[in-house]
Structure 1
Amino acid sequence: MDLLKAKQSASEQRGLLLNTKKTKVMIVDTGRNDTDANFSLEGDVIEEVESFEFLGSIINTKSDCTQEIKRRLAIARGVVSNLTKLWKSKLPPSLKVRLLKSTAFAVASYGSESWTMKLSDRKRLDSFELWCYRRILRIPWTAKTNEWVLQELGVQKTLRADIISRKLSYVGHITRHHCLQKTIVQGMVEGKRKRGRPAASWLDDIKIITGLSITEATRAAADRI
């Protein structure tokens, strides 16, 4: 509540009005329940949501990226389908692959620096990439093996590798700068976590990718190794 009032006060100082009908509140709190008090401002109730779109990406209360990954892949599939005439053309396969990466892959990996990927998400990305290559060759998923598809086009699976590269570049960037993102990533939250195994975090992804501890990865990023 205090944060809402502070935001309203800061907005008014700059001649801006806080529209309560368009303002949404999302609380990331595993202990929160439906009986908790609602948020209001000057008598108007502020709607509380479980997810919302911010800068083209879906953010939810569970910090689960699966929903966003499925959404990005669905949009990218639409891009591939809209280019059917291009895949049927007589352009060289190598050029088609380059066009695929600059269009569909760019859409699919938008905002991927912040993703925390589960094993199912990794498989989903690989399946999408191979589906795209099969569209270029115009063969169904039941025909030929995935290895044959890659050999025919002379390519390797690169979508997930590109996402990993972008994540490492991002963690290196925030590590070498004093910024809010660095505070969020490296900071500690007070209190105790609930019982049970915690969900995989973004930092867990970095540890798996690099094979280093967070301290070692931070030092390596600071030295640009």
Structure 2
Amino acid sequence: MSLKVNTLKTEVLVQCTEPPQAPFQFHLHGEPIKTVEHFTYLGSIDTQDCSLNMEIQKEDKLCLTSIWPIVRDRVFSNNNLRIGTKAAVYRIVISILLYGSEIWTLHNCKKRILENFNIICLHNILRLSWKDKTTHDELYNRTQISSIETIMAQRHLRWLGNTMRMPEHRLQRRILYGQLAGGNKSQTKELKFAYTVIFWYIER
């Protein structure tokens, strides 16, 4: 029994630190393989420049077009539901919005976009308007829902804990505990990635 690769269903995604001088060409058994700028793998979008823009836009579109109208009309606008019930439903929306965020590295502008969506939803849960002049901390306390940055930090640390408990031969753990192969120790400061991330969260 042998494995046969279907060239019509196979795509190649090239990720480079610098733009290539000429487009890459890949062939299998003399047949060319299509080179793409992005493709979806295990539900997440991988791109040539390793950007998260398309991934966030996909999650935002899913929440805003498919989930948000239903939740807003049937849950947030329902006066017969308690705040705790609405918050529990919204946590499901957050889990969809932040799918795969355990390994995200976001810029501040992307964090603000996600946090603005979070604040709008919290206002809807509490049936508040912009005229009420409610602080973000009050919204978090009344709904028992944290900010997006806090939720992502918890997800990152949970992922780190799961990876650190893996057997030593697992690739994820080897990368997490990886060190620089060369260079002067005083210059490279061979800090392990795991400890670097943990110390960063502690300092914050």
Calculate the TM-score normalised by the size of structure 1. Answer: 0.70
> After superposition, where does 1:107-126 map in structure 2 within 5 Å?
107-126=96-115
The answer (yes or no) to whether the contact 1:23–1:47 under 8 Å persists in 2 is: yes
Cα displacement string for residues 35-60 of structure 1 (whole angstroms, at most 9, x for unaligned residues): 24400111221111222111111112
Report the Cα distance in structure 2 between the residues aligned to 1:151 and 1:120, rounded to whole angstroms: 21
For the pair 1:66 / 2:53, whether they are aligned, the reply is yes
The answer (yes or no) to whether the contact 2:111–2:148 under 8 Å persists in 1 is: no
Cα displacement string for residues 187-210 of structure 1 (whole angstroms, at most 9, x for unaligned residues): 367799xxxxxxxxx977655323
For the pair 1:33 / 2:20, whether they are aligned, the reply is yes
Counterpart position of 1:81:
69
| Cα 1:207/1:74, change in 2 over 3 Å | farther
What value does the CA root-mean-square deviation take over the aligned residues?
3.0
The answer (yes or no) to whether the contact 2:15–2:49 under 8 Å persists in 1 is: yes
Counterpart position of 1:183:
174
User: Pick from 96, 116, 140: which aligns with 1:127?
Assistant: 116
| Cα 1:182/1:109, change in 2 over 3 Å | same
**Residue type matched to 1:175 in 2?**
M
Stretches of structure 1 that go unaligned for 5 or more consecutive residues are 1-13, 193-201, 213-225
| Cα 1:186/1:64, change in 2 over 3 Å | farther
SS for the counterpart of 2:33 is strand
Calculate the TM-score normalised by the size of structure 2. Answer: 0.76
Kindly state the Cα deviation for residue 34 of structure 1 after the two structures are TM-superposed.
Answer: 5.0
SS for the counterpart of 1:208 is helix
**Residue type matched to 1:143 in 2?**
K
For the pair 1:96 / 2:86, whether they are aligned, the reply is yes
Alignment coverage as a number of residue pairs: 188
